[in-house]
Amino acid sequence: MEDVKLEFPSLPQCKDDAEEWTYPMRREMQEVLPGLFLGPYSSAMKSKLPILQKHGITHIICIRQNIEANFIKPNFQQLFRYLVLDIADNPVENIIRFFPMTKEFIDGSLQNGGKVLVHGNAGISRSAAFVIAYIMETFGMKYRDAFAYVQERRFCINPNAGFVHQLQLWLSWNSARSAPLPLKQRQAYHCAFKTSKNKQTNNSF
């Protein structure tokens, strides 16, 4: 059997005129890829609507745990399409199960000319992990390289150790899922993703 070489799109390079990172930028969102932004909840608060509209945001992924729902919440459901994920910033939290649906959400927006903001509370651990996962799968990158790419744009990112471990596992799992597999293994992967997606359907706004 011939080796199958997977082909991925080219990763956009850093802008030559990129801003030097300063501490106050932690409270703002940054554009990681064309149309994909990463930031804290403060970048999605009601007072930031003019900035969101200025950047053309159309979709928002809001990541919070249940106890944060009173203050980390969708503020503009009439203006933007939301995907809300209930996830704690805890090393034992299973985030891999959410990767397929977040990639579908982001791809759907970008392919239709939209722009996506991914935020958690601080924009450091949970939301950063999901943006890294998206870049790893979309561009076929290893965790270390994807992390470095995102950090060049949002220096303060720091996914917790459990999330890092899952991202490294995700690379192996996704590579295996992309390669030609026997029928039974392909069916097993399909069932796993379908089950994961169905369980999370009610989290989408």
The upper half-sphere exposure of residue 161, i.e. CA atoms within 13 Å in the direction of its Cβ, equals 0
User: Domain for residue 1, yes or no?
Assistant: no
The angle that helices 143-151 and 126-139 make with each other, rounded to 10 degrees, is: 120
User: Domain for residue 108, yes or no?
Assistant: yes
pLDDT of residue 189: 38
User: Domain for residue 18, yes or no?
Assistant: no
pLDDT of residue 172: 77
Q: Please tell me the distance from the alpha carbon of residue 40 to that of residue 62, in angstroms, as a whole number.
A: 10
Cα distances from 173 to residues 35, 42, 163, in angstroms, run 27, 34, 15
Domain of 116, CATH number, reads 3.90.190.10
User: Domain for residue 5, yes or no?
Assistant: no
The total domain count for the chain is 1
Q: Please tell me the distance from the alpha carbon of residue 92 to that of residue 156, in angstroms, as a whole number.
A: 22
Over residues 128-148, mean pLDDT: 95
The domain of 131 spans 25-203
Q: Are 11 and 141 in contact (CB under 8 A)?
A: yes
User: Domain for residue 112, yes or no?
Assistant: yes
pLDDT of residue 201: 41
pLDDT of residue 20: 84
Partnered with residue 86 across adjacent β-strands are 64
Per-residue pLDDT tens digits for 18-56: 678 888 899 999 999 999 999 999 999 999 999 999 999
User: Domain for residue 78, yes or no?
Assistant: yes
**Residue 10: which residues within 8 A CB-CB, separation 6 or more?**
139
**Average of per-residue pLDDT values in the chain:** 84
Over residues 56-70, mean pLDDT: 96
pLDDT: which is higher, 162 or 10:
162
pLDDT at 104 over 70: yes
DSSP H helices, the chain, are: 49-54, 99-111, 126-139, 143-151, 161-178, 183-199
